Structure 1
């Protein structure tokens, strides 16, 4: 199982109550399931609207269960941003 960091931005950070936390997961789906378990409530709703970067690469429309996480990697949780 890979270990790394999940970083929360803007509304996701507010809902999680932390800027970042560690992950121990093989896929993005597993990491996000663990986040939902640790932070039930508002963060679960915010995550439905978020986009994700894994080690700087956009996940886009790929299934989260297909996105492999690397040892020492970083997942960025990006809610929709207003403005330009």
Structure 2
């Protein structure tokens, strides 16, 4: 699996006792970065990504799960005659 990596150099800027980064506008637009982002620590650095704020409705969730087409033929039938 080949991963395409594009690098952009920027500077850390002081924000109180912290530091911030300026993200170029074309990157903000391309990756739909809004007010909140996720910063993940990975083995060789940081990964910055958009926070997924979209929530699926039950209907959309069902549709997404149906796409997977899992085989449930080996699932044991649940006997609902007993209370849990």
Does the pair score TM above 0.5? no
Pick 1 or 2: higher relative contact order, CA cutoff 8 A, min separation 6: 1
What is the TM-score normalised by the length of structure 2? 0.29
Larger helix proportion of the pair: 1
TM-score for the superposition, normalised by structure 1: 0.29
Choose between structure 1 and 2: higher strand proportion.
Answer: 1
